[in-house]
Structure 1
Amino acid sequence: MDIFVYGTLTEPDRVAEVLDSYVYVGPATLFGLHLVEGRYPTLAPGGETGGRLLRTEEMDALDEYERVGEGLYRRVTVPLDAPDGHPDEAAVYVGDPDRLDADATWPDEGGDGSDGERNGGGSGFTDRVDRYLEREAVGVRLAP
């Protein structure tokens, strides 16, 4: 599977600590989400983020590293714009900004974030991310 990485997993030494088998496919850009800093880097609506496309079959190891089971990050799938021979989709890890102390707001269902809650906490974050990805043109483009 191809994964867009934008933080510590762009560093080969760190990836080698997490995965036994992987390859960097090349530089890539994620459109529709931008990088925000917190305890760990995460993503927020709008803009774009530069990173790398990583290929591995060891998704369980990545999920553990990103603490998906604990709700710190969640793995989502977005369209991948790449030459023939590449998958049509790439995974992206999005961290819960409340749990990461990151300045990010995921819009409510109406898209204006005006419901007075920052992210809705818990499952609210998951729902807001899903709704944003359904509405917006979020995707990864592999650099030529």
Structure 2
Amino acid sequence: MDVFVYGTLTEPEQVGDLLDSFVFVGSATLTGLRLVEGEYPTLAPGGETAGRLLRTEEVDSLDEYERVDDDLYVRVTVPLDAPDEYPAETAVYVGDPDRLGADATWPGEGSFGERVASYLSTADVAVRLDGSRSV
């Protein structure tokens, strides 16, 4: 699975401590969501965020690291703008700004995950692979 990463997961040493098998596919840009700082970095509606495209089959380890079961982060899927040999979508982790002490607001009602999903269903959010490295 391809995952758009930003913050600490762009650092090979950090990812190497977490995953047994991974490769950084290349630099990427997430459009439609901007980086906000809190206890840990997260994303908020609008803008864009620079990061990397990470490929791994160890998604359970990433979910555990991002505390998905505790609803600290949610894993969502967004379109991936890349050459044909890449998947059409990539995963992105979005952290709850209230729990992370980040200055961000997600519109809508419901749980944090529901508000993120609702926003993504109507907003123009996608990841673009920078460059044209083949896999």
TM-score by length of 1: 0.89
Structure 2: which 5+ runs fail to align? Answer: none
1:141 aligns with 2:128: yes
How far 1:124 sits from its partner (Å)? Answer: 2.0
Alignment match, 2:118: 131
Q: Secondary structure at the match of 2:113?
A: helix
Alignment match, 2:21: 21
Alignment match, 2:9: 9
Identical-residue share of aligned pairs (%):
71
> Match for 2:47: what amino acid?
G
Alignment match, 2:78: 78
Q: Secondary structure at the match of 1:54?
A: strand
Distance in 1, matches of 2:91 and 2:103, equals: 23
> Match for 1:125: what amino acid?
F
Distance in 2, matches of 1:55 and 1:38, equals: 26
Distance in 2, matches of 1:49 and 1:20, equals: 26
Distance in 2, matches of 1:74 and 1:84, equals: 27
- Which one has a bigger Cα radius of gyration? 1
**CA shift digits 1:3-38 (9 cap, x unpaired):** 000010000000000000000000000000000000
How far 1:89 sits from its partner (Å)? Answer: 0.3
1:107 aligns with 2:111: no
Distance in 2, matches of 1:131 and 1:98, equals: 18
Alignment match, 1:98: 98
Distance in 2, matches of 1:135 and 1:89, equals: 16
Distance in 2, matches of 1:101 and 1:14, equals: 22
How far 1:127 sits from its partner (Å)? Answer: 1.3
Distance in 2, matches of 1:125 and 1:69, equals: 13
TM-score by length of 2: 0.95
